[in-house]
Amino acid sequence: MAGIGVFICWCGENIARTVDVKKVAEEIGKLPGVTVAMEYKYMCSDPGQTLIRNHIRDDKLEGVVVASCSPHMHLRTFRAAAAREGLNPYKVEMANIREHCSWVHQDKERATAKAIELIAMSVAKVSKDKPLDAIKIPVTRRAMVIGGGVAGIQAALDMADGGIEVILVEREPSIGGKMAGLSETFPTLDCSQCILTPRMVDAGQHPKIKLYTWSEVEEVNGFVGNFEVKIRKKARYVDTTKCTGCGNCWNSCPQKKIPSEFDYATGNRTAIYIPFPQAVPARPVIDAEHCLKLTKGRCGICEKKCAAGAIHYDDQDEFVTEKVGAIVVSTGYQLYNFRAPETEKTKGYGEYGYGRFKDVIDSLQFERIVSASGPTSGEIRRPSDGKEPKTVVFISCVGSRDNNKGMAYCSKICCMYNAKHTMLYKHKVHDGEAHVFYMDIRSGGKNYDEFVRRAIEQDGALYHRGRVSKITEEGGKLIVRGVDTLAGKPVTVEADLVVLAAAMVPSKGAEQLAQKLSVGYDQYGFLSESHPKLRPVETNSAGVFVAGACQAPKDIPESVAQASAAAGKVLGMLSKEELTREPEIAHIDEKNCAACFACYRTCPYNAIEKAEVRDRRGNFIKMTARVNPGLCMGCGTCVAVCPSKSADIEGFTDEQIYAQIETLL
Amino acid sequence: MSEEVSKEFEPKVVAYVCNWCTYLGADLAGTNRLEYPTNVRIIRLPCTGRIDFNLIVKAFENGADSVLVSGCHPGDCHYNAGNYHARRRWMLFRELLATLGLDMDRIHFTWISAAEGRKFQQVVTEITEKTRALGPYTKYREICEV
């Protein structure tokens, strides 16, 4: 290819100090195909870009190499400049002679020689560059939110208010998530339900939000702008269109002693139930495992009591497919199970006696006990004998920051809710003692540290800096043995109730969902954002966004902020008629393809399709692999596995790379 | 060019690196001004999963004295699993190359993240020095001629 322009940047002194740019320009000018080779102080500056543009125009350049900094810094800049002058942006290459040359070498002669070789490699590559056009994909202007906790509700409302139709999928019978079960929230001690339930109602009644509760995502197909999500609507045994939510069924159900999931087993529910009175939708489900009619064929009382005729014992799981353009994942968290046996991936906390001692509970259970809507109507009663506990011990970091349990991270919210719990307890039991064992107090946030100080100074919470080694039970008391490392003394507290602040871990099933969505996750199962600083709500799977504690432990304000951010991103994306994507993706030479489908099995994005090749009359000729440009992210794994060399990747073709290598000789 | 600079043997090291981890690790080495020998020539690819082992053979054919393949750490792949594919392929290919008589001391595989500028410096320095000690890879060219 003739007509290659090479533009060598001084980067002020950054490059020119160690690389003899004049000599480089002189040597590069001798390369075949190069018609312009020049140096300039700042290529990325306005006059620098104008210089490049003028040469593209006046010298009719067909390819441009900019030898300057890393392509991660300025490739977009130079491609855009070329495009403005009518040169296809994918005919611009960079040679990294700053980060990879002038900054890491001292010897000017050697650095200059290396710079010449690096540029020659890029010249070889650009000569094999093909013009590429950005890929345009049509967009379905609907979005899905998976997980209807506070983050999911916020994202759904924001998107729906922005005019996008939203499908909200929740696997529990009601939306609301963990927040619906909290008592009061830090640092204002606002009633959690007072804040959340109106939002739940808004989401339930919004004309643009379609709610699927008691439903799970079964399968995800398609790609950014064009997802098809198969949803399994679990058998509810209640026709929600007929049901009025009157409550006759659950009030008359004889199965009354089933541990309530919503109360984390601190209270009971019936077999036909709504998880809590403010549930949205206020429509019950039948728990098929415990219903007498469904297990033993007896009873049937709820059917008789239902005036609306909404009970259907023969209900089956149902599948629906929804088309959406974007997906927000907000599947939240659960607490680390410290009852887990030692053999599991994460080891339990046998020494704290959870499960053995009825009065050792976790923080979410304490939330229910202290909540006005909880099983004790907000009166603090311990589970074993229903007595008011006079001494309560709160233990921080149960699982969190503990490498031995496989969780090196801080769960971030426990310091704050421990302080809150001591306050709520002291406000109700004035003569009670609230002890906290902690490693560090992490209370960064608006009004957060003041809140912790208030718990200690005004409400008299007793803080011990140290760990608890063991809890035993003696005569109805829990003997908590720990240490106060500031006093340098062992501490023993005779407690009536112990509350363990267990680590936040991703919700059950989050990894499987991530796999369905091709979203990455870390060793703990938290979903990976695209960039920790600059792309905090995007994932590396285009069109899939994250919000809330499924990405990392976070509190309510942060979850809500991230949810609104994700909603903003989705609204931005869906505001266009069609999406454009980088064209540096794989393609298959269908004539050559032997249809072995090694690529089909390897592709991490399921972007390879099995397609038929037919002649003009429609006669079948053969099978071939085909790349779905909406799904392909351009990793090139298919290229490496293709035995017939039919797969290649634009921008990094075999031809381009071979051309680069051949300059070595 | 290298003959003009120095008469002694200057190894040619080709580094196939992924765009998201090792390339950025090399950028970071630059930003931190971590000096290393001038012998390495980086070829940027989207992912180590892209590396067809023909590329390695091709590098030797064109006079490389050593080849480095480096990508994201396991679990960190920008494309979720490309580096695992590369690793699996590498395990097989290593055996094959050894059987064919290639010098396994000249082929290196490593993980360098975008945060590991210092590791990039160390790896490149070690490989260059090791290759310098091994001398030019004339044996490969001899195999080819047979």
The token duo for A108 is: 């000017």
Q: Could you identify the residue written with the tokens 């003569």?
A: A431
Of A98, A105, A520, nearest to B38 by CB-CB distance is A105
Token pair for A504? 């936040």
Mean pLDDT of A10-23: 95
Q: Residue A641: its chain B contacts at CB < 8 A?
A: 85, 89
Q: How far apart are CA A461 and CA A144, in angstroms?
A: 44
Q: By the CB < 8 Å criterion, does B34 face chain A?
A: yes
Phi, psi dihedral angles at A546 (to 5 degrees) = -120, 150
Query: How far is the alpha carbon of B140 from chain A, nearest alpha carbon, in Å?
Result: 14
Q: Give me A120's structure tokens.
A: 């020659």
Domain A4-126 in CATH 3.40.50: yes
- Asked whether the beta carbons of residue B46 and residue A107 sit closer than 8 angstroms, the reply is no
Does any domain span residue B130?
yes
Å between A487 CA and nearest CA of chain B: 40
From the list A72, A110, A604, the residue facing B81 with the nearest CB is A604
The minimal CB distance from B79 to the residues A103, A604, A652 is found for A604
Sign of CA dihedral A344, A345, A351, A356: negative
Residues of B in contact with A101 (CB under 8 A): 38
CB-based contact A104 B24, cutoff 8 Å: no
Looking at the predicted structure, is the pLDDT value of residue A462 above 80?
A: yes
Does B125 lie at the interface with A, CB-CB under 8 angstroms?
no
Residue B5 lies in a domain: no
Cβ-contact A235, A316 below 8 angstroms = yes
Q: Is B80's CB within 8 Å of A522's CB?
A: no
User: Is residue B133 domain-resident?
Assistant: yes
Contact A98 B30 (CB under 8 A): yes
> What helix, strand, coil percent values describe chain B, rounded to 5?
50, 15, 35
CA distance B124 to chain A (A): 12
User: Is A327:A544 a contact under the CB 8 Å cutoff?
Assistant: yes
Contact B1 A96 (CB under 8 A): no
CB-CB neighbors (< 8 A) of A107 in chain B? 5, 38
Residue B19 domain-assigned (yes or no): yes
Smallest Cβ distance to B47: which of A103, A635, A658? A635
Which one of B23, B34, B43 has the shortest CB-CB distance to A104? B34
Residues comprising chain B, all counted:
146
Contacts of A114 in chain B (CB under 8 A): 38
Residues paired with residue A323 on neighbouring β-strands, in sequence order: A228
Other residues' Cβ atoms within 10 Å of the Cβ of residue B80: 25
* Residues B43, A661: C-beta atoms closer than 8 Å: yes
Rounded CA gap, A665 and A72, in Å?
A: 28
Report the phi/psi class of residue A490: left, alpha or beta, with left for phi > 0 and alpha for psi in -120 to 50: beta
| Residue A147 to residue A83: CA distance in whole angstroms | 42
pLDDT at position B4, please? 46
Chain A residues in contact with B88 by the CB 8 A cut-off are: none
* A201-226 average pLDDT score: 94
For A456, residues 6+ apart whose C-beta sits below 8 A from its C-beta are A419, A463
Beta strand A258-259 with A268-269 is: antiparallel
CB contact under 8 A, A100 and B36: no
Instruction: Pick the residue of B2, B18, B47 with the most A CBs within 10 A to test the interface with A by mutation.
Output: B47
Distance from CA of B3 to the nearest CA of A (A): 10
Q: What pLDDT was estimated at residue A515?
A: 85
- The pLDDT confidence band at residue A609, using thresholds 50, 70 and 90, is very high
User: What average pLDDT is seen over chain A?
Assistant: 94
Q: Which residue in the set B52, B62, B63 is minimally distant from A640, CB to CB?
A: B52
Best residue in B3, B50, B55 to probe A by mutation, most A CBs within 10 Å? B50
Q: Closest by alpha carbon to A97, among B142, B50, B27?
A: B27
Residue B72 inside a domain? The answer is: yes
* The dihedral sign for the CA sequence A147, A150, A152, A157: positive
Q: What does the alpha-carbon distance between residue A128 and residue A381 come to, in Å, rounded to a whole number?
A: 76
- Of the candidates B87, B122, B54, B34, the one whose C-alpha atom is nearest the C-alpha of residue A657 is B54
A635/B26 Cβ within 8 A: no
How far is it, in rounded angstroms, from Cα A487 to Cα A503? 27
Does the pLDDT at position B2 exceed 70?
Answer: no
DSSP state of B72: P
**Of A329, A294, A238, A298, which is closest to residue A559 (Cα–Cα)?**
A329
Phi, psi of B144, rounded to the nearest 5 degrees: -60, -40
Which is nearest to A114 in space by CA: A27, A4, A9? Answer: A27
Please say whether the beta carbons of A63 and A126 come within 8 A. yes
Q: For residue B88, tell me if it sits in a domain.
A: yes
Locate all alpha helices (DSSP H) within A183-287, ordered by sequence: 192-205, 248-252
Burial annotation A40-51 (CB, 10 A radius, 16+ → b, else e): beebbeeebbeb
CB contact (8 A) between residue A654 and residue B85: no
Nearest to A20 by CA among A109, A86, A98: A109
pLDDT value for A347: 64
Written as one string, the DSSP assignment of A356-395 is TBTTEEEHHHHHHHHSTTSTTTT----TTT-PPPSEEEEE
Sign of CA dihedral A224, A228, A234, A237: positive
B27 in reach of chain A (CB within 8 A):
yes
Mean pLDDT, residues A315-323 taken together = 97
Which pLDDT band, with edges at 50, 70 and 90, does A589 fall under?
very high
Token pair of A340, please? 């887990």
Q: How close is the nearest chain B Cα to the Cα of A640, in Å?
A: 4
Q: What is the pLDDT of residue A456?
A: 97
Q: Which of A110, A604, A605 sits opposite B5 (nearest CB)?
A: A110
Distance CA B31, CA B8 (A): 30
Q: Where are the domains of chain A?
A: 4-126, 333-505, 586-649
- Per the rule left: phi > 0, alpha: psi between -120 and 50, beta: everything else, A267 is beta
Q: At what angle do helices A654-662 and A108-127 cross, to 10 degrees?
A: 150
Q: How far apart are CA A14 and CA A29, in angstroms?
A: 22
For A662, the closest of B53, B62, B80 (CB atoms) is B62
* pLDDT given for residue B113 in this prediction: 86
A346 pLDDT above the threshold of 60: no
Contact A502, A521 (CB under 8 A): no
Question: Residues A143, A81: contact at Cβ < 8 Å?
Answer: no
Q: Write down the pLDDT at residue B5.
A: 42
Average pLDDT over residues A271-277: 96
Region of poorest pLDDT, from A64-73, A364-373, B66-75: B66-75
Q: Cβ A635–B50 below 8 Å, yes or no? A: yes
In chain B, what residues touch A658 (CB-CB under 8 Å)? 58
- Chain A nearest-CA distance from B45, in A, is 7
Number of domains in chain B: 1
Smallest Cα distance from A154 to chain B, Å: 29
> Is the alpha carbon torsion for A264, A265, A267, A273 positive or negative?
positive
Assigned domain for B4 exists: no
For residue B45, the chain A residue with the least C-alpha distance is A652
- Closest residue to A113, CB basis, from B2, B46, B121: B2
Q: What is the pLDDT of residues A464-522, one digit of tens each?
A: 999 999 999 999 999 999 999 999 999 999 999 999 999 999 999 999 999 888 888 88
Q: Which residue of A has its CA nearest to B82?
A: A637
Cβ-defined contact of B52 to A72 (cutoff 8 Å):
no
Domain that holds residue B27: 14-137
User: What residues contact residue A369 under an 8 Å CB cut-off, 6+ apart?
Assistant: A266, A361, A375, A376, A380, A381
Residues near A13 by beta carbon (within 8 Å), at least 6 away in sequence: none
β-bridge partners, A168: A145, A211
- Measured distance CA(A146)–CA(A126) in Å, rounded: 44
The CA distance from A124 to A127, in Å, is 5
Q: Calculate mean pLDDT across residues A440-461.
A: 96
Q: How many angstroms separate the CA atoms of B120 and B35, rounded?
A: 10
Interval A164-178 mean pLDDT: 97
Q: How far apart are CA A90 and CA A93, in angstroms?
A: 8
Hey, CA dihedral for B13, B15, A44, B30, is it positive or negative?
Answer: negative
Asked if B62 lies within 8 A of A637 by C-beta distance, the reply is no
The verdict on a CB contact (< 8 Å) between B58 and A111 is: no
Backbone angles phi, psi at A418, to 5 degrees: -60, -45
Chain B residues touching residue A657 (CB < 8 angstroms): 43, 45, 55, 58
CA distance A602 to chain B (A): 8
Q: Is the pLDDT of residue A342 over 50?
A: yes
Instruction: Give residue-wise pLDDT tens across range B3-52.
Output: 444 468 899 999 999 998 899 999 999 999 999 999 999 999 999 888 88
**Homologous superfamily, domain A333-505:** FAD/NAD(P)-binding domain (3.50.50.60)
CATH of the domain at B43: 3.40.50
CATH 3.30.70.20 is held by the domain A586-649: yes
Angle between helices A46-58 and A71-84 (to 10 degrees): 50
Q: How far apart are CA A200 and CA A180, in angstroms?
A: 9
Chain A residue numbers touching B46 (CB-CB < 8 A): 584, 634-636, 649, 651-652
Average the pLDDT over each of A227-241, A407-421, B59-73 and give the range with the smallest value.
B59-73
Measured CA to CA, the distance from residue B52 to residue A661 in angstroms comes to 14
